[in-house]
Amino acid sequence: MSERIPRDDPAGSVDVIARLRDEGVELVEMSFVDNAGIVRVKTVPLERLPAAARFGVGASPCFETFTFDDVMVPGRYLGGPDGDLRLVPDLGRLVRLAALPGWAWAPADKFGQDGQRFVACQRAFAARQAQAAADAGLTVLAAFEHEWALGEPGTDEFVPAFTGPAYGQVRLEATADYALELVSALREQGLEVQQFHPEYALGQVELSVAAKDPLGAADDALLVRHTVRAVSRRRGCRASFAPCLVPGGAGSGGHLHLSVHDSGGNLFADGPGRYGLQPPGEAFLAGVLRELPALQAIGGGNPASFLRLEPSRWAGVWQVWGREAREAAMRLITGTTGTERWAANAEVKCFDATANPYLAVGAVLAAGLAGVREELRLPAEITGDPAALTDDERAAAGIRRLPTNADEAADALEASEVLADALGKELHDAMLTVRRAEAQRCADATPEQLAARTRWCW
C-alpha cells in the first residue's frame, strides 16, 4: 500500500472508466469507516474518477472522533473543525454495484493534503499489520460472519419481516427469493458466498463469504453489508446489523474468523500441540486471548454491544478458549477429519458490526503477532457454559468475564501496551475518545432507549 498518493494514471483508471461506462455506471461511491464503525461516503461522477484517484476527494478529519450518533468530541490529537484529508479510491477494489444500478463502489484510503498517508488511516492500519505478519513469515486469511435482522419498512420500531422457528424451513421459505437475489448480487461483485441460512433471533439471517487476506476481508465486510441493505430495500424490507434490536433477546454478531499460515501450511493443524496446533499458531491465539478485553473496545465496544454480550447466548462473553466452545470468546474450529489443513481456523465471537472492520482485523493481528514474538502458550481450554459454575469455580479455573460495559472496555484498551503501540498514539487516542464519549452519552439510557438509538445505524 502506497504511502503517497500516486500521481500517474493509477491502475489504468482511463480503462476502468471505459469499462464501467459500458456497464451503465454514472456515479462512483468512495467509502471509509470512522472509529465508531459508521461508514461515511463521498461520491463523484464517473468521469471524475481519474482526478479522484490522483488527487483525492476532500473530507474533514473531524469524523475521526465522531460518535455513532454524529456528535463530534475532539480528542487529544484528532477531531475538531480544522484541516482536510484526501480520500483516494482503491481502484483495485472498484466494483459495479449489482443492487444499485448506475453506481460503482471503492474503499478509500486517507491521505493528507501534502500527499502523505494520514497517520490514523484505519485501512492503512490493517495493511500494516498484514505486512507485519508477512515480515514474520506468516500469512493470515480472514473473514467476517454477517448476521442481520430484516424488519418491516416505514417505522423506526423493529417489526420482524418474517417469523418462524430458529433455523427453520419456514423462515427459509419466507426469505428464499430474497436470498437468491442477494447471493446473485454478491457473486456479480466478485464475492464467494459459502453459506446462507435463517438464524436464531427475530427476523435474523446469516451469510458467510470466503476468507481473504486481512485487508480484503475488511473490504468484503463493507461490500456485503452495503449489498444487503440495497437488496433489502429492493425487496421492501429494512436490514439492520445493530448488535441488539430488542433487549433481552439474542442479538447480531460480527464474528471474525482467521487462520495463520507459514510456508509449510496452516499453523492450526498438523502440529504437536492440542488439536494439532503448531507452536507459532498456539502463540498467536494466546496473544489474541490475552488482549481480548482491550480488543472488545475495538470489535464490539459501543454501549449497545453490551446488550448482546450476555452469558448463555453464545455471544462469547468469557475470556477463554475451547474447541467448538460456543460460550468462549475464542472458539477453535478444527474441521472434520480430512479437512483440517484448509479448514482449521479460530473464531473471535465477541465482535459485532459496530466495529470498524479494518481496526478489528488489524488489532487482532497485532495481538496475535505479539503472542508469537513472546512465544505465549494457551491456558487450559473450557467446555460447557461457564455461567453454570459458581464464582469460586470460575476463579479457580481462571475464567474471567470480558468487559460488561463500554467504559470497562475503554479502560482495557487504554491499558493495552500492545494495541497502543500498534495503533499509534493518534489512532489509539481517537478510539478511546469515541468509546468514552459514547459511554457518557448513553449512561442514563434504558436498554430499550439504547436499542432504539442504535437500531438503524449499522
At 384-432, the pLDDT tens digits run: 999 999 999 999 999 999 999 999 999 999 999 999 999 999 999 999 9
Q: What is the mean pLDDT of residues 324-353?
A: 95
The per-residue pLDDT for 162 is: 95
The per-residue pLDDT for 3 is: 77
C-alpha cell at 94: 472498484
Q: What is the mean pLDDT of residues 324-344?
A: 94
Rounded to whole angstroms, how far apart are CA atoms 352 and 373?
Answer: 28
CA angle 144/147/149 to nearest 5° reads 155
Rounded to whole angstroms, how far apart are CA atoms 409 and 240?
Answer: 24
Percent of the chain with pLDDT over 70: 98
| Single pTM value for the model | 0.96
Instruction: Examine the pLDDT at 108 and tell me if it is beyond 70.
Output: yes
Instruction: Examine the pLDDT at 367 and tell me if it is beyond 90.
Output: yes
At 227-257, the pLDDT tens digits run: 999 999 999 999 999 999 999 988 999 999 9
The per-residue pLDDT for 81 is: 87
Q: What is the mean pLDDT of residues 107-123?
A: 97
Q: What is the mean pLDDT of residues 69-88?
A: 94
The per-residue pLDDT for 1 is: 67
Instruction: Examine the pLDDT at 268 and tell me if it is beyond 90.
Output: yes
The per-residue pLDDT for 14 is: 76
How are beta strands 238-240 and 256-262 bridged, if at all?
A: unpaired
- 174-178, 198-202, 205-209: segment of lowest average pLDDT: 198-202
Residue 406 · residue 267 · CB < 8 Å: no
Q: What is the mean pLDDT of residues 268-272?
A: 96
Q: What is the mean pLDDT of residues 378-386?
A: 96
Instruction: Examine the pLDDT at 11 and tell me if it is beyond 60.
Output: no
| Helix (H), strand (E), coil (C) string for the chain | CCCECCCCCHHHHHHHHHHHHHCCCCEEEEEEECCCCCEEEEEEEHHHHHHHHHHCEEECHHHHHECCCCCECCCCCCCCCCCCEEEEECHHHCEECCCCCCEEEEEEEEEECCCEECCCCHHHHHHHHHHHHHHCCCEEEEEEEEEEEEECCCCCCCCECCCCCCCCHHHHHHHHHHHHHHHHHHHHCCCCEEEEEECCCCCEEEEEECCECHHHHHHHHHHHHHHHHHHHHHCCCEEECCCCCCCCCCCCCCCEEEEEEECCEECCCCCCCHHHCCHHHHHHHHHHHHHHHHHHHHHHCCCCHHHHCCCCCCCCCEEEEEECCCCEEEEEECCCCCCHHHHCEEEECCCCCCCCHHHHHHHHHHHHHHHHHHCCCCCCCCCCCHHHCCHHHHHHHCCCECCCCHHHHHHHHHHCHHHHHHHCHHHHHHHHHHHHHHHHHCCCCCHHHHHHHHCCCC
The per-residue pLDDT for 6 is: 66
Rounded to whole angstroms, how far apart are CA atoms 382 and 394?
Answer: 10
Q: Of 349, 363, 356, whose CA–CA distance to 309 is shortest?
A: 349
Domains and CATH numbers, the chain: 10-118 (3.10.20.70), 128-454 (3.30.590.10)
Work out the pLDDT band at 4, boundaries 50, 70, 90. confident
Instruction: Examine the pLDDT at 328 and tell me if it is beyond 60.
Output: yes
Q: What is the mean pLDDT of residues 440-457?
A: 96
Task: Count other Cβ atoms within 10 Å, centred on residue 17.
Answer: 18
Q: Cα–Cα distances in Å, from 264 out to 106, 140, 210, 373?
A: 34, 13, 21, 19
User: Burial of 295 by CB count in 10 Å (0-12 exposed, 13-18 middle, 19+ buried)?
Assistant: buried
Q: What is the mean pLDDT of residues 158-178?
A: 95
What average pLDDT does the chain have? 96
The per-residue pLDDT for 7 is: 60
The per-residue pLDDT for 397 is: 95
Q: Residue 345 phi/psi, 5° resolution? A: -155, 170
User: Burial of 190 by CB count in 10 Å (0-12 exposed, 13-18 middle, 19+ buried)?
Assistant: exposed
At 277-306, the pLDDT tens digits run: 999 999 999 999 999 999 999 999 999 999
